[in-house]
Amino acid sequence: MEQIRITLDTHTLIWSLDEKLNYKLSEQAKQAILSAEAHGIIFIPIIVLLEMLRIIEKGKSKLPFDKIVNGLVNSDNHQIIPLDIELLDIVKTIHGLELHDRLILATAIYTNSVLVSKDREIQKTGINVIWSVNE
């Protein structure tokens, strides 16, 4: 079986972790995450964790940040992708998006994975993005 490789953006990660928000995920997104958890790898850009931390600090989410990060670090099928010079080189080639979106998109390119994102601006870039288009 081919290994499924996906990258999650911030909202997708939060919605997948918070059972009360799972309903916000499209069916395609849910299936991609379940498949990658069972038979693949899920890449988490470091900027996604920074954005999630900010959302939690603002009180917009009650997710236990440290517990989540420790779980990701110790997971066999999740990999946190740090910002390094190779990723920076890819970010420099992406234009027309906010910096955090450029980093997320660059991570998907760098890891040769499919991005799971509801963000319409990212979807317009032409990269392989999983989400329902009929929302």
> What would the pLDDT profile of 19-74 be if each residue is shown by its tens digit?
999 999 999 999 999 999 999 999 999 999 999 999 999 999 999 999 999 999 99
Measure Cα distances from 132 to 1, 17, 42 in Å. 25, 19, 19
User: CA 130 to CA 8: how far, in whole Å?
Assistant: 10
- What pLDDT is attached to residue 132? 54
Residue 17 in this model has a pLDDT that exceeds 90: yes
What pLDDT was estimated at residue 134? 44
* Strand-pair partners of 43: 7, 79
CA distance 85 to 76: 25
CATH no. of 4-130: 3.40.50.1010
pLDDT tens by residue, 69-112: 999 999 999 999 999 999 999 999 999 899 999 999 999 999 99
What span, in angstroms and rounded, lies between the C-alpha atoms of 129 and 50?
Answer: 22
- Residue ranges of domains in the chain: 4-130
